[in-house]
Amino acid sequence: MRVNTISTCTGFVIMEKILFVIPPYVSFDSFVNPAFNDGTTTKKSGKYRNIVADFPMGVLSLSAYLKKNANVEVKLIDFNIVLNKLESFEYKSFSELFNDILSSKKYVEFVPTIIGISTLFTPAYYNMLDIAKVCKKLFSNSLIVAGGGVPTNMYREIFKVSKSFDALCFGEGEKPMLDLIQTKNKYLHINNNPSWITYKKIRTKKSFRHNFIIDLDEIPFFDLDIIKIDDYRLTSVLSTFPLAKERMKGMSFMTSRGCVHRCCFCASHSVHGRQMRFHSIVRIENDLRKLKRDYGIKLVVFFDDHFMANRERVFKIVNIMKNLQLTAFFPASLTLYALDRKMLEALKSIGLNELVLSVESGSDKVLREVMHKPLNLSIVKRVIKDCQELGIDTDVAILIGLPGETKKDIEDTRSFLKTLNATWFRINIATPLAGSEMLEICLRKNYLKGDYISCDFKRPVIGTEDFTPEYIQEKAYALNLELNFVENSDFKLGNYKKALRGFENTIRVKNDHAFAYYFAARCCKSLKQNKKYMEYKNNYKKIIKDSEFWRNYFRQFNLEPLRYDLTYLN
């Protein structure tokens, strides 16, 4: 039996030593060979794909809950942070990296009794398997478990190819992990408890059950002692939003779990369920005070699946934030139907100047019949108009390439989006997440044309009677160029300063983006920023000269060459 009691010199008894591990969110191949539409970062050894790494809220909550209710010592290793911090990347595989880091003195001397691998999204699937394999070799006496969206939905696939896991957690992990820690015979427990999935149980066709905490206040404030907050500052999701107040000290936060809606592309319910559960207003106020007082936070980044579930509650939270002089950002979007004028004015009153809007489609038919999304286009028009009047920038998220969508639907979307004066558009490619209705449809109708496990909103794998994956890839990129650059609403309206901000942000994450240089140069020309104009113009000319890819797009959109006009600039 494994060691689960350790006496220390103080006489204090530590029941468990838990090592949480977060796998890289991208595959090794896409990290070392970024695609044309990936953001990149340069290290001494070359160019790599950018990894967006946010505060691992699930693990931070889990750790806080376990520390409150049991004797545990916790360490966390987030390989996304490890990769982002490496000055040079010399490994031939991620497995080599995992082995190198996990075999270091820090972890070997820790002697974890439980290793918990947290895997939320499918692109981390193979990394999760490799980490478990390395852990099995290095820590043969540890119990190896995994939790999150991937183990909850892909347990059959995992146990088919891996012998490294002792058990996988079904849904949220707080209660199942606590029960596991508090039990004497862990093997007996994982084999009897319906929130734990084992190989044996799958073979005997046992069913699994969520074990949710209904009153979220039972979970203490995040255990921030297991991370370095600054590690997440520059890599957070804010860095991918051109409009966000990236430089402001922000922190991820959740006030609820669950979502009542049934969007076909979403898998959130498989982990958090469809019933809403909340933190109390008193608790939220205390946490926000703490964030401000103890961590100097000014910007709260809300990741609730359905923040707008209760309007009155939202107004109360906004009021608290106003009193504490905190501002907010909602990267996961807010339900558009709840964003009436009164709500938008309340959000504006706490300094919210930009909103991500998950519009997803510009076709009422697709929203209703394909996505099952609680939205129609008249609401979209009204919200964007209100935002424009209130001085709130809008970042509109769109998804194309879903089963059931047609080329005509995508053209309808394009036409509709061109009528919106949104600040920025984010054109994503439909990704069949494990646990989503969309994946079920794709499997049933044989629509998967590639490995859906590695796809990540940028690489299409769905092909139907109506379109091929290649068509969707091309269409998504062309839409991005058309809506954000050629038809950029701020550029067309003469708001060159604001338009320039978006173009320069694109240059920051993708420094070979010819359209970004071209339109940034045109903004600088109008703003009479001579030096920058020349710099951007020269960059654009160099890229165009060297790249057939960009020359094609310049031809496609019929863009005029830039001419240096000194009289105009003087």
| Closer residue to ligand SF4 in complex, CB, 263/383 | 263
Q: How far is the CB of 234 from ligand SF4 (least distance, A)?
A: 27
Distance of CA 500 to the CA centre of its chain: 26
426 binds ligand SF4 (CB under 6 A): no
Residues near 435 by Cβ (< 8 Å), separated by ≥ 6? 149, 152, 153, 267, 269, 270, 271
Piece of 39-47, 234-242, 259-267, 401-409 that binds ligand SF4 (CB under 6 A):
259-267
263 binds ligand SF4 (CB under 6 A): yes
CB atoms within 10 A of CB 219: 20
| Closer residue to ligand SF4 in complex, CB, 328/371 | 371
Measure the CA–CA gap between 334 and 57, rounded to whole angstroms: 19
Piece of 1-9, 254-262, 438-446, 508-516 that binds ligand SF4 (CB under 6 A):
254-262
| Closer residue to ligand SF4 in complex, CB, 305/386 | 305
Paired residues of 47 in beta bridges: 42
Contact 194, 209 (CB under 8 A): yes
Q: How far is the CB of 429 from ligand SF4 (least distance, A)?
A: 16
Q: How far is the CB of 332 from ligand SF4 (least distance, A)?
A: 7
| Closer residue to ligand SF4 in complex, CB, 245/272 | 272
300 binds ligand SF4 (CB under 6 A): no
Q: What is the residue whose two structure tokens read 């990347």? A: 89
Measure the CA–CA gap between 297 and 310, rounded to whole angstroms: 25
CB atoms within 10 A of CB 51: 19
Q: How far is the CB of 304 from ligand SF4 (least distance, A)?
A: 9
Of 75, 261, 508, 510, the one binding ligand SF4 (CB under 6 A) is: 261
| Closer residue to ligand SF4 in complex, CB, 330/536 | 330
Paired residues of 354 in beta bridges: 393
User: C-alpha distances in angstroms, 550 versus 50, 169, 273, 481, 493?
Assistant: 22, 47, 45, 11, 26
277 binds ligand SF4 (CB under 6 A): no
CB atoms within 10 A of CB 265: 21
Piece of 24-32, 146-154, 256-264, 491-499 that binds ligand SF4 (CB under 6 A):
256-264
Contact 61, 222 (CB under 8 A): yes
Q: At what angle do helices 149-161 and 125-138 cross, to 10 degrees?
A: 60
Q: How far is the CB of 441 from ligand SF4 (least distance, A)?
A: 16
| Closer residue to ligand SF4 in complex, CB, 194/273 | 273
Q: Is 242 left (phi over 0), alpha (psi -120 to 50) or beta?
A: alpha
18 binds ligand SF4 (CB under 6 A): no
Distance in Å from the first CA to the final CA of the chain: 81
| Closer residue to ligand SF4 in complex, CB, 64/399 | 399
498 binds ligand SF4 (CB under 6 A): no
264 binds ligand SF4 (CB under 6 A): no
Measure the CA–CA gap between 483 and 468, rounded to whole angstroms: 22
Nearest Cα neighbor of 143 from 2, 30, 329, 351 is 2
Piece of 140-148, 226-234, 255-263, 530-538 that binds ligand SF4 (CB under 6 A):
255-263
Provide the 3-class DSSP secondary structure of residue 208: coil
| Closer residue to ligand SF4 in complex, CB, 290/372 | 372
Of 150, 259, 380, 455, the one binding ligand SF4 (CB under 6 A) is: 259
Q: How far is the CB of 398 from ligand SF4 (least distance, A)?
A: 14
DSSP of 328-372? EE-TT---GGG--HHHHHHHHTTT--EEEEEEE-S-HHIIIIII-
User: C-alpha distances in angstroms, 554 versus 10, 23, 512, 545?
Assistant: 70, 39, 14, 12
Q: How far is the CB of 432 from ligand SF4 (least distance, A)?
A: 14
428 binds ligand SF4 (CB under 6 A): no
524 binds ligand SF4 (CB under 6 A): no
257 binds ligand SF4 (CB under 6 A): no
Provide the 3-class DSSP secondary structure of residue 247: coil
Nearest Cα neighbor of 413 from 393, 425, 398, 430 is 398
Of 80, 268, 327, 529, the one binding ligand SF4 (CB under 6 A) is: 268
172 φ, ψ (degrees, to nearest 5):
-60, 150
Q: How far is the CB of 261 from ligand SF4 (least distance, A)?
A: 4
- Pattern of binders to ligand SF4 over 301-320, x per CB under 6 A? ----xx--------------
| Closer residue to ligand SF4 in complex, CB, 263/384 | 263
Measure the CA–CA gap between 316 and 313, rounded to whole angstroms: 5
Q: Which of residues 450-469 bind ligand SF4 (CB under 6 A)?
A: none
| Closer residue to ligand SF4 in complex, CB, 111/260 | 260
Q: How far is the CB of 402 from ligand SF4 (least distance, A)?
A: 13
Contact 331, 241 (CB under 8 A): yes
266 binds ligand SF4 (CB under 6 A): yes
Piece of 64-72, 128-136, 257-265, 427-435 that binds ligand SF4 (CB under 6 A):
257-265
Q: How far is the CB of 267 from ligand SF4 (least distance, A)?
A: 8
- Pattern of binders to ligand SF4 over 209-248, x per CB under 6 A? ----------------------------------------
Nearest Cα neighbor of 272 from 320, 205, 332 is 332
- Chain residues in the site for ligand SF4 (CB under 6 A): 259, 261-263, 266, 268, 305-306
